[in-house]
Amino acid sequence: MRAAHRRKESDYGIGAAIEADVTEPGRDGRLLRVLLTDTVTGAGYAEVVLPRVTDPLDEEGRERVETAVEALAGAFPSEARLAAMVERGTFSIDLWTPRA
């Protein structure tokens, strides 16, 4: 499981892994379903909105999003970090990906 593996390297004890791009046709930006885990209390899902990204993410973009979500974990109380993130449900990340 990618999220569990990433948790080992995470500063805040939460691993994130993009599970799916669930962007609806005609929507501005991208909408991603992300699996979160602390590998202790369990796992849950959140959505990540990327308002300025129009194309599907490549591997580098996926890595940047997962790292950003893991960094956001630091804003939540450590004793209930995973539950609080799952309860919040949606995060918006201003990830800009330049076109070649």
DSSP state of 73: G
pTM score, two decimals? 0.88
> Whole-angstrom Cα distance, residue 73 to residue 12?
6
Per-residue confidence (pLDDT) for residue 92, from 0 to 100: 94
Q: Averaged in consecutive runs of 10 residues, what is the pLDDT profile of the chain (100 residues)?
A: 87 93 90 94 94 89 94 92 95 72
Per-residue confidence (pLDDT) for residue 100, from 0 to 100: 47
CATH number of 2-92: 3.30.1520
**Alpha helices per DSSP H over the chain:** 2-7, 59-72, 81-88
